[in-house]
């Protein structure tokens, strides 16, 4: 995967991408955009009257090469809420650069999106979150201590991350889970760079730090989104117990298999959350 664009080239790509988004889907952007991670792809079927556009038509968007990701954006209705769904993301382990989603996220912001909802497949560090569990991300740990804001000008690069995952929207998502009698956990996600899985010693360290789930995405996008002024929600689907917590050998195939087994429940919950976001008054203001 080639390195992401930067500087004037990125600005030009964003301007072109925004123009294409407007011409394809309308001047008025959906208030909500979702990045569909592994296990969450079934949510695309929640979209009514969906229109699709390949990332290849959007020069600021990435071209992910990871199995299970489709490189396109789809826009439609989920209940009363108009939603954009991004089917695929750039991972830092693909190029070594953690700015891979910068163009896409800044294009969404410039179009008029207000909320970015990030989903992922994670390894669980806690026995109360077995494979198949869903977890609202309340906070994160940036284990590699890499930032997509390195080199950004101005004082807004010192972005406040004290409430990165919007507390009001998390409360709303918990209310939705209770209304549907669905057990949804809440916890801290730790970003590991990958692409190799973590060692048992690393998992013991992450657990001691207070992490509840581990994965190879989400944190760079959250930083980029908060820097851009977007509100953020995060949802993790547990696809396995992390290294050393079960006898199972960790593989990408196992992640995809468990994601497929639990995908319908994950997609249903995501649809319920999205369809009810129109009730959140602060999103309408």
- What span, in angstroms and rounded, lies between the C-alpha atoms of 235 and 178? 16
Q: Answer for the pair 31, 113: CB distance below 8 angstroms, yes or no.
A: yes
Which among 24, 108, 28 is positioned nearest to 60, based on CA atoms? 108
Q: Answer for the pair 273, 158: CB distance below 8 angstroms, yes or no.
A: no
Q: Is the pLDDT of residue 234 over 90?
A: yes
Task: Name the residue ranges covered by the structural domains of the chain.
Answer: 7-284
Q: Is the pLDDT of residue 98 over 80?
A: yes
Q: Is the pLDDT of residue 248 over 80?
A: no
CATH architecture under which domain 7-284 falls: 3-Layer(aba) Sandwich (3.40)
Average confidence (pLDDT) over 104-127? 97
Q: Answer for the pair 216, 193: CB distance below 8 angstroms, yes or no.
A: yes
Average confidence (pLDDT) over 80-99? 94
Average confidence (pLDDT) over 68-95? 91
pLDDT of residue 266: 92
Tell me what percent of the residues of the chain surpass a pLDDT of 90: 79
Instruction: Report the length, in residues, of the chain.
Output: 285
Q: How confident is the model at residue 179 (pLDDT cuts 50, 70, 90)?
A: very high
- What span, in angstroms and rounded, lies between the C-alpha atoms of 19 and 2? 24
Q: Answer for the pair 178, 243: CB distance below 8 angstroms, yes or no.
A: no
Q: How confident is the model at residue 269 (pLDDT cuts 50, 70, 90)?
A: very high
pLDDT of residue 3: 63
**b (16+ CB within 10 A) / e for 208-237:** eeebbbbbbbbbbbbbbbbbbebbbbbbbb
Q: Is the pLDDT of residue 34 over 70?
A: yes
- What span, in angstroms and rounded, lies between the C-alpha atoms of 139 and 76? 29
Average confidence (pLDDT) over 58-82? 85
pLDDT of residue 38: 85
Residues 6+ apart with CB under 8 A from 57: 20, 24
Count each helix (H run) and each strand (E run) in the chain, helices first.
8, 9
This model's pTM is above 0.85: yes
- What span, in angstroms and rounded, lies between the C-alpha atoms of 89 and 102? 11
- For the ranges 25-34, 197-206, 257-266, the lowest mean pLDDT is seen at 257-266
- Cα within 13 Å of Cα(274), Cβ side: 35
Chain mean position to CA 72: 15
**Chain segment 126-173, per-residue pLDDT in tens:** 999 999 999 999 999 999 999 999 999 899 999 999 999 999 999 999
Q: Is the pLDDT of residue 230 over 60?
A: yes
Q: Is the pLDDT of residue 205 over 90?
A: yes
- What span, in angstroms and rounded, lies between the C-alpha atoms of 285 and 273? 19
Q: Answer for the pair 194, 93: CB distance below 8 angstroms, yes or no.
A: yes
Average confidence (pLDDT) over 107-135? 96
């Amino acid at each position: 995967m080639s390195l992401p664009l930067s500087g004037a080239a990125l600005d030009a790509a964003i301007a072109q991408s925004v123009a294409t988004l407007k011409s394809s889907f309308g001047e008025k952007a959906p208030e909500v955009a979702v990045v569909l991670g592994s296990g969450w792809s079934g949510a695309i079927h929640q979209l009514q009257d969906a229109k699709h556009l390949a990332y290849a038509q959007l020069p600021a968007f990435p071209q992910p090469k990871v199995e299970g990701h489709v490189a396109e954006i789809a826009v439609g209705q989920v209940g009363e809420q108009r939603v954009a769904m991004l089917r695929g993301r750039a991972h830092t382990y693909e190029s070594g650069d953690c700015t891979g989603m910068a163009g896409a996220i800044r294009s969404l912001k410039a179009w008029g999106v207000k909320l970015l909802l990030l989903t992922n497949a994670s390894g669980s560090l806690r026995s109360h979150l077995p494979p198949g569990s869903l977890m609202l991300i309340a906070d994160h740990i940036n284990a590699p201590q890499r930032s997509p804001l390195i080199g950004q000008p101005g004082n807004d690069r010192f972005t406040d991350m004290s409430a990165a995952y919007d507390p009001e929207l998390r409360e709303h998502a918990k209310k939705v889970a209770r209304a549907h009698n669905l057990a949804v956990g809440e916890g801290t996600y730790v970003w590991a760079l990958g692409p190799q899985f973590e060692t048992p010693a690393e998992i013991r360290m992450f657990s001691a730090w207070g992490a509840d789930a581990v994965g190879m995405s989400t944190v760079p996008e959250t930083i980029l989104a908060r820097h851009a002024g977007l509100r953020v929600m995060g949802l993790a689907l547990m696809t396995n117990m992390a290294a050393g917590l079960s006898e199972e050998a960790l593989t990408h195939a196992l992640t995809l298999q468990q994601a497929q087994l639990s995908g319908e429940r994950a997609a249903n919950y995501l649809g319920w959350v999205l369809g009810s976001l129109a009730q959140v008054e602060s999103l309408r203001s």
